[in-house]
Amino acid sequence: MKCKLIISLTITCLLVMSACKKVIEVEPEFVKDGSQIFRTLNDYEFALTGAYALFRATGYFGTGGQTNATWATLPDMMADNLLQTGEDLGNWVTQVNWTYATDENDIEVAWIAAYSVIAEANLVLRNIEQFAAAEPKKVNRIKGQALAIRGMAHFDVLRFWGADFERNSASLGIPYVSAVDIDAKPARLTVKESWDNILKDMLEAEKLLADVDKAINTASSKAYFDLVAVRALLARMNLYAKDYTKAESYASMVISAVPLASRTSFTNIWTDASASEVLWSVPFSAGEGSPSFGVHIGSSNRNRFSPSAFLAARYDQANDIRFPAFFGSRGTGSSTPVTPYASVARKVVNKFLTRGTTLDNLVNWKALRTGEMYLIRAESRALQGGAKEAAGLTDLNDLRAARITGNIAAVLTGQALLDAIALERRKELFGEGHRWFDLKRTSRTISRTDPVLTSTKLTLAPTAREWIWPIPQSEIDANATIKPQQSPGY
């Protein structure tokens, strides 16, 4: 009897012992634990890819079901280039009609989208120096891009949330995040301090990317920040900061590196058949969303925003290569093709519709182009005045000549020249996410003359609080430091 008892007890013990602690030592197989990566420089490169991919996120360049592509097409919708139609079902009416408050979800999504890119860039930058001695040029390549990403995303935040863009302004700027710390409660810096940080990152990126182990982009693909793209971004930043000599000089560097596209190539840019004059573009493939679903959904033919008729009338429609590349018309029905602008009454933006024949809104988001560099240089030179003004006019005429067949060079000075440059920006960069910021940094007045819906609000005064986006309520609630720094008027 005792023997049996011992046997059964032993069996029981064995069964129990087999269930040792190993049972709950389960490791993730389909995701990586943080402790498993950042061991080699390749892991850092993986994370860099992750940071780039976040530019596609909903609220940055991507359109979501409920959130617009904040830095892609939204700035044109909030201004006077794109006009809301009934087919949008009122989805982005708070932004388009400037009725947002601190609890506006889309604004929070945009805020998080930008800082997510920054957080991922900071993960790339954390401890990357440990490999600098062994592989300096590779470190330069990865670190330079991460810095440019961080600078770019902060600059984009500043564009919406900055009270103004003066280089030395003491007005409210943005929090600058340069380290990985989830408990941080950063304050809003002044605009000057924001610029200090942004430009520091950008200048270091410029330095590092000049000395790398291998080419970052190819002739046909400009998906990454290389030296030219960083300089193009610096040109744009300096224009905003009103540092016109630097803006001019960076624009010149880019123009000499990457000339304007030929007229044939220009049309091909919008179907990604050519990467001519593209400096940085974010690729969108099937299953990765689209930056332009908010404008015109090609597949289902839902025309949510139609192009401004006022603007369309400003083009030399017969001779301007940009016009047919940007503007079209289309009858209803999902299989109806896009036709030339004059064909039917329903006008559509056809700039972002397709790479080939399928109207799937899948084209790369062209974030930086040489065309913009001409306009930056023209404006910088015109504003510097004196002998430079004429050079600015030449830039404007050069750009027009490249786009318009048989263009006759204009002769303009003073305000007339500046107005012509501003109109040319509208025409050249139509739908590319500049208009709201151009108005914000120059006149701060919106006047819509050709609304589609009766509910569309027509004017936004320079004094309106809406020019400066509110810090999202959730940020105010979670971050005591920023609490007393809400944008004025909210």
With beta carbons less than 8 A apart as the criterion, state whether 190 and 169 touch. Answer: yes
Instruction: Tell me how far, at minimum, the Cβ of 345 lies from another protein, in Å.
Output: 10
Minimum separation from the CB atom of position 46 to another protein (A): 4
Question: Can you tell me the distance from the alpha carbon of 63 to that of 284, in angstroms, rounded to the nearest whole number?
Answer: 12
Cβ neighbours, 10 Å, residue 312 = 19
Query: Of 111 and 270, which has the nearer Cβ to another protein?
Result: 111
Coil vs helix vs strand at 258: coil
390 CB contacts (<8 Å, ≥6 apart)? none
Least Å distance, CB 353 to another protein, is 11
Query: Nearest approach, Cβ of 38 to another protein (angstroms)?
Result: 9
Torsion of CA 234, 236, 237, 240, to 10 degrees: 160
Reduce the DSSP state of residue 62 to 3 states and report it.
strand
Smaller CB separation from another protein, 19 or 219: 19
CB of 108 closer than 8 Å to CB of 68: no
At closest approach, how far in Å is the CB of 20 from another protein?
Answer: 8
CB 471 within 8 A of CB 444: no
The distance in angstroms from the start CA to the end CA of the chain is 84
| Residue of 333, 334, 347 whose CA lies nearest to 452 | 347
Q: CB of residue 272 vs another protein: minimum separation in angstroms?
A: 11
Of the two residues 7 and 318, which places its CB atom closer to another protein in the complex?
7
Nearer to another protein, 181 or 213 (CB): 181
Strands (E), 325-445: 327-329, 347-349, 365-369
**Closer residue to another protein (CB): 428 or 475:** 475
Least separation in angstroms between CB 178 and another protein: 11
Give the nearer residue to another protein in terms of CB position, either 111 or 195: 111
SS3 95: helix
Q: Kindly tell me which of 37 and 390 has the beta carbon lying closer to another protein.
A: 37
Q: Whose Cβ is closer to another protein: residue 216's or residue 376's?
A: 216
The contacts of residue 155 (CB under 8 Å, 6+ apart) are: 198, 233, 237, 240
In the complex, minimum distance from the CB of residue 78 to another protein, in angstroms, rounded to a whole number: 18
Helices (H), 126-213: 136-161, 191-209
Contact predicate 95/106, CB 8 Å: yes
